[in-house]
Structure 1
């Protein structure tokens, strides 16, 4: 894994483009993924992350890790956050109606919005809970089709920090769901630490809470 301090004092980090395989090169070995570890820098990490104009960026981490907060504060460009979709549905439904009743409709609306955003061909930042591997496979195919790269931004926070984040926002998940998310997030982080990213992911960035709080811009060049 590429874990250096070369970017510790920079204000921005431009991610190198991973070459996409053309039709005749589909069976050729893909380039090794690029992994940047911005953890354990006590806030001395980039203030900006810049990606290619056709890249796709997935922000993943535990519920309560700060994905939606980071997206609202830092993303410049198109962002698709399932939390935004849920908030819109929550405002339009009676308070007595349990979320579990209309959750399938919220998910359907979220993925429909994601599909519309992808069809623009522009760079998109996507919220992902980390437990739906088929979503990353879909985004990887789309990134290859448009000649871009799929990047993972992994928010690596402790379970205690995530639970505190859930309490702060006044919304949590069940113990079973949290354990499921915890196992999925741990697998992703460990794979990234080994440089073994999910198929189709060209690059990843590991962030702890301090690095996420330091970020002020996540955007696209061009």
Structure 2
């Protein structure tokens, strides 16, 4: 299988689409923020992404866009997914107890686990819906403290596709929450397309569903 390793480049802020990308594209490591657009490649996109040993990678996108699926399938190393935390709490909670009752505890447990993972100093992949800028600010500070960099993987899918993903997993968010996520995700994608990355972010990769499905490995150098 053709496994193309992608690093984040340092040569440009936004790179034009290329019909034949180099076998090895540099992803991370320099001060200039970079955008890699892997959308609309009809599956001819990298099979693997390789980041620095102390980097932090945030996977973001709409609820139902496939963040957890991508992470569970492709991440080789430490991953912190809020969905995993929720699943563990739901397995222990009384059956009739609504999730809204213990959701604050799930959030606290998720951030506590994330903090522990960051303190270990290894590369880590984090699930994020993209609505909380303070989380990215915190992760950027932690990445710098560790001597690494913060990278974004943005799953750009249509709202319809995301809603179908929620139905497939049998779990959704309220209409209000989905609209809030949709607004925040669209704003972030437009900003990244302009090459205007959030403060502290070194690189961003835009993925559509075929590009996400093509990925089989997200890992870190040693």
**TM-score, normalised to structure 2's length?**
0.91
Does structure 2 conserve the Cα–Cα contact (< 8 Å) formed by 1:7 and 1:46?
A: no
Contact 2:58 2:153 (C-alpha < 8 Å) held by counterparts: yes
> Taking structure 1 as reference, are residues 50 and 13 closer, same or farther at Cα in structure 2, changes over 3 Å only?
farther
Name the counterpart of 1:26.
none
**1:48 Cα deviation (Å)?**
0.1
Aligned to 1:88: 88
Q: How does 1:1-222 map to 2 (within 5 A)?
A: 1-5=14-18, 8=21, 10=23, 13-18=25-30, 31-222=31-222
CA RMSD of aligned residues (A): 1.3
CA gap of 1:157–1:47, structure 2 versus 1, over 3 A, is: same
TM-superposed CA distance for 1:32, in Å, is 2.8
CA distance in 1: counterparts of 2:208 and 2:25, whole angstroms: 16
Secondary structure of 2:17's partner?
coil
How far off its partner does 1:4 sit?
2.9
Report the 3-state secondary structure (helix = DSSP H, G, I; strand = E; otherwise coil) of the residue aligned with 1:32.
coil
* SS state at 1:191 partner: helix
Q: Is the 8 A contact 1:14 1:51 kept in 2?
A: no
1:35·1:195 contact (CA, 8 Å) conserved in 2?
yes
Per-residue deviation, residues 72-116 of structure 1 (Å, max 9, x unmatched):
000000000000000000000011000000000000000000000
> Is this contact kept in 2: 1:13–1:46, CA < 8 A?
no
Seen in structure 2, the aligned counterparts of structure 1 residues 77 and 146 have a Cα distance that, compared at 3 Å, is same
Q: Report the Cα distance in structure 1 between the residues aligned to 2:196 and 2:219, rounded to whole angstroms.
A: 25
Q: Which runs of 4+ in 1 moved over 6 A?
A: none
Distance 1:99 1:107 in 2: 12
Deviations 1:13-49 (A, max 9, x none): 551312xxxxxxxxxxxx3311100000000000000
